[in-house]
């Protein structure tokens, strides 16, 4: 009987579940909006129902579900699968998600933060296939990331690795959501680009508008993006000197900007920040999984770590 995998992506405003094969072929996908007011218990009930639903689909296909991978929007204690907290919804503090989802659904469950899941997803199914050493950066409202080194996800001693968004780039730079100053996230995230653009243009603009204006040749928008891409190159350079990755993958909404405004300027600035020998052969590419990156990451997490259970 063929084994399938369930991936669950638990974000702030929606949860997505996918029933997939080990090759990443999605048999069925369910997406539901969540309401922060439901709290952790309400969100958890929704997850259970989605899993039961996908389990039935698997049975109807003559297959069974081997493991459930959960990519969660907040830090997670990986070994126990206990959530530290949700970035979006109150009530998830210390929630034993792996244990409760496992006993409720009678399936093996692996839980990790969504940045690690996203990294595993691009590695297994997306722009990182076949590479043993890579850096994944998700540039959206905030900036998250993950590292694969020697064919393994880098976790760190408390599963907090990959926080490239909070690498200091300019100590005297703008205030970050984390309370410190000059973090990459405060310089190059979608919200940072929108904020700096708004200040300099003298009217409220989104990051999408800054990209659009820059495409039309607006000098202020261009200078905003030059600073944002320079900060990205700085942070990627630091990581490249430390880890010597073969490939850097840029994902998230901002990475969908035109190549000439994001990926190309990052590549052009990298020689300032990386040793020549570590720069040699280093590829900077866009992520491939797009809108379904989160749930495909959760599928990849289940496949990667399910064997440990």
Of 278, 286, 288, 290, the one binding a copy of itself (CB under 8 A) is 278
Considering only residues 11, 66, 237, 306, which one is a binding residue for a copy of itself as defined by CB under 8 A? Answer: 237
Nearer Cβ to a copy of itself (32/283): 283
Of 211 and 234, which CB lies nearer to a copy of itself in the complex structure?
Answer: 234
The residues pairing with 77 across neighbouring beta strands, listed in sequence order, are 82
Is residue 27 a contact residue for a copy of itself (CB under 8 A)?
Answer: no
Q: Could you say whether residue 285 binds a copy of itself (CB under 8 A)?
A: no
Determine the Cα angle at 112 with ends 111 and 118, to 5°. 125
Check residue 158 for interaction with a copy of itself (CB under 8 A).
yes
**Beta bridge pairs of residue 249:** 136, 285
- Residue 204 interacts with a copy of itself (CB under 8 A): yes or no: no
Q: How far is the CB of 92 from a copy of itself (least distance, A)?
A: 15
Q: Show contacts with a copy of itself in window 163-182 (CB under 8 A).
A: 163-164, 166-168, 171, 178-180
Pairing of β 64-72 and β 152-153 = unpaired
> Are the C-beta atoms of residues 124 and 300 closer than 8 Å to each other?
yes
Find the shortest distance in angstroms from Cβ 116 to a copy of itself.
Answer: 11
Sheet of 14-20, strand order: 26-33, 14-20, 3-10, 64-72, 109-113
Q: Which of 73, 75, 121, 142 binds a copy of itself (CB under 8 A)?
A: 75
3-state secondary structure of 232: helix
15 phi, psi to nearest 5 deg: -120, 145
C-beta of 68 vs 148, nearer to a copy of itself:
148
Contact 228, 192 (CB under 8 A): yes
Helices 114-125, 293-305: axis angle to 10 degrees equals 80
Min CB(306)–a copy of itself separation in Å = 18
> Which one of 141, 159, 191, 198 is in contact with a copy of itself (CB under 8 A)?
159
Residue 240, Cβ density class (10 Å: 0-12 exposed, 13-18 middle, ≥19 buried): buried
* Interactions with a copy of itself, residue window 122-151 (CB under 8 A): 131-133, 147, 149-150
Under the binding rule (CB under 8 A), the answer on residue 243 touching a copy of itself is: yes
Binding-site residue total for a copy of itself (CB under 8 A)? 47
Tell which phi-psi region holds residue 11, choosing left (phi > 0), alpha (psi between -120 and 50) or beta. Answer: beta
Rg (CA), the chain: 20
Q: How many residues are recorded in the chain?
A: 309
Q: How far apart are CB 13 and a copy of itself at their closest, in Å?
A: 24
Smallest gap, in angstroms, from Cβ of residue 308 to a copy of itself? 12
Backbone angles phi, psi at 18, to 5 degrees: -135, 140
Task: Please identify which residue in 264, 275, 307, 309 interacts with a copy of itself, judged by CB under 8 A.
Answer: 275
CB atoms within 10 A of CB 85: 17
Q: Which residues bind a copy of itself (CB under 8 A)?
A: 75, 84, 131-133, 147, 149-150, 152, 154-164, 166-168, 171, 178-180, 234-235, 237-239, 241-246, 272-278, 280-281
């Amino acid at each position: 009987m063929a084994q399938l995998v369930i991936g669950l992506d638990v974000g702030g405003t929606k949860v997505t579940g996918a029933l997939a094969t080990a090759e990443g072929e999605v048999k069925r996908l369910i997406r539901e909006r969540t309401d922060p007011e439901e709290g952790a218990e309400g969100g958890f009930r929704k997850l259970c129902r989605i899993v039961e639903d996908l389990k039935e689909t698997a049975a109807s296909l003559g297959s069974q579900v081997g493991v459930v991978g959960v990519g969660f929007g907040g830090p997670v204690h990986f070994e126990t699968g206990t959530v530290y907290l949700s970035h979006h919804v109150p009530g998830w503090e210390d929630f034993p998600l792996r244990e409760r989802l496992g006993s409720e659904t009678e399936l093996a469950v692996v839980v990790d933060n969504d940045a690690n899941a996203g990294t595993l997803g691009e590695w297994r199914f997306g722009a990182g296939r076949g590479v043993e050493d890579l850096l994944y950066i998700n540039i959206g409202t905030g900036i998250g990331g993950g590292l694969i080194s020697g064919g393994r996800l880098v976790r760190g001693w408390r599963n907090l690795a990959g926080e490239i968004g909070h690498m200091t780039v300019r100590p005297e730079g703008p205030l970050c959501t984390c309370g410190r100053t000059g973090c990459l996230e405060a310089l190059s995230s979608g919200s940072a680009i929108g904020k700096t653009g708004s200040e300099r243009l003298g009217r409220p603009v989104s990051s999408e508008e800054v990209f659009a204006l820059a495409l039309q040749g607006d000098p202020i928008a261009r200078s905003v993006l030059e600073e944002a891409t320079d900060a990205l190159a700085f942070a990627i350079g630091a990581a490249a000197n430390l880890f010597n990755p073969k490939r850097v993958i840029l994902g998230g909404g901002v990475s969908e900007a035109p190549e000439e405004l994001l990926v190309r300027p990052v590549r052009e600035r990298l020689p300032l920040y990386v040793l020549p020998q570590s720069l040699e052969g280093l590829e900077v590419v866009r992520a491939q999984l797009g809108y379904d990156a989160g749930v495909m990451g959760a599928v990849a997490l289940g496949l990667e770590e399910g064997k440990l259970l």
